[in-house]
Amino acid sequence: MNSSVKFTRWAEETDQRATSGRRHVHLGQVRTEVVAQFAQIHGWSILGAVVVGFALGAAGSLLTRRFVPLGRVAARSWWLGALITAVVLGLVAWRVRPGGELVVDGFVAVLSVPLTIIDWCEHRLPRALVWPQLGGALVGFSILCVARDDAGPGVRAVTAFVAVAGLFLLLALVTAGGVGAGDIGAAGVVGLVTGWIGWPPVAGALSVASLLALVLVAVPAVRQRTAEGSVLVPFGPCLYAGALAMVAAAG
């Protein structure tokens, strides 16, 4: 009698373990399929971002031509802006999850390309492009805060914007012309975008920008000297590169 009961219990336990094993295998297969489908969808979204970036970059070259002289053939070409924008937007789509942040970061990234080319060639960041970039980012993040009923990231982003823009305003006063209004606006954009992520990315973006600027000081073809002998380098590309690096790292 005892042997029969033990055998029955052993059979029930074995059946339960087998059922549990099959359940775990099934769940594992489901997870694998979900991950594979997500990777496929994400891959298509990155490809779509590259295609859209190429088209927007080609259109953005019209903005570049407004501020870059005729002698700069490559900088004024449609293909340069198209290629850079395609790579940048593809990187943003790869590292930023689909959603509101992707739209805002993508908008900032698209306008950053003509601004980078202009500053590289002319050592200026036109306010006609910087202010719409800043305004678009502010509106976009405000909408996200309202839609999600979460003001925390927005408050941090605005605080970072004020802090970074204020820092560059102070630098403009100290350097007496070394930092322009466009630089202040671009710095504010970088503070806003990285501040939405967190405070470490704000510091990281400024650190990367400073390191890149030090590298550019050593490039004679890039740097300029003022009448007082001060060395000037295009800091806008450094700022935008720092922000892109932090957005990519945070993803």
Per residue in 195-222, pLDDT (tens digit) is 999 999 999 999 999 999 999 888 766 6
Q: pLDDT tens digits, residue range 12-71?
A: 665 666 555 555 555 556 566 555 554 556 777 899 999 999 999 999 999 999 999 988
Instruction: Yes or no: say if 127 and 182 are a contact pair by the CB < 8 Å rule.
Output: yes
> pLDDT value at position 18?
56
Is beta strand 231-232 parallel, antiparallel or unpaired with respect to 224-225?
antiparallel
> pLDDT value at position 38?
47
Burial class (CB in 10 A: 0-12, 13-18, 19+), 173: exposed
Instruction: Yes or no: say if 238 and 210 are a contact pair by the CB < 8 Å rule.
Output: yes
Closest CA to 52 of 114, 107, 7: 107
Q: Residue 231 above 90 pLDDT?
A: no
Q: Residue 143 above 70 pLDDT?
A: yes
The whole domain housing 107 covers 2-250
Question: Per the structure, how many domains does the chain have?
Answer: 1
* Upper half-sphere CA count for residue 49 (Cβ side, 13 Å): 27
3-state secondary structure 197-225: HCHHHHHHHHHHHHHHHHHHHCCCCCCEE
Q: Roughly how many angstroms between the first and final C-alpha of the chain, as a whole number?
A: 64
Token pair listed for 120: 């590289």
pTM value? 0.83
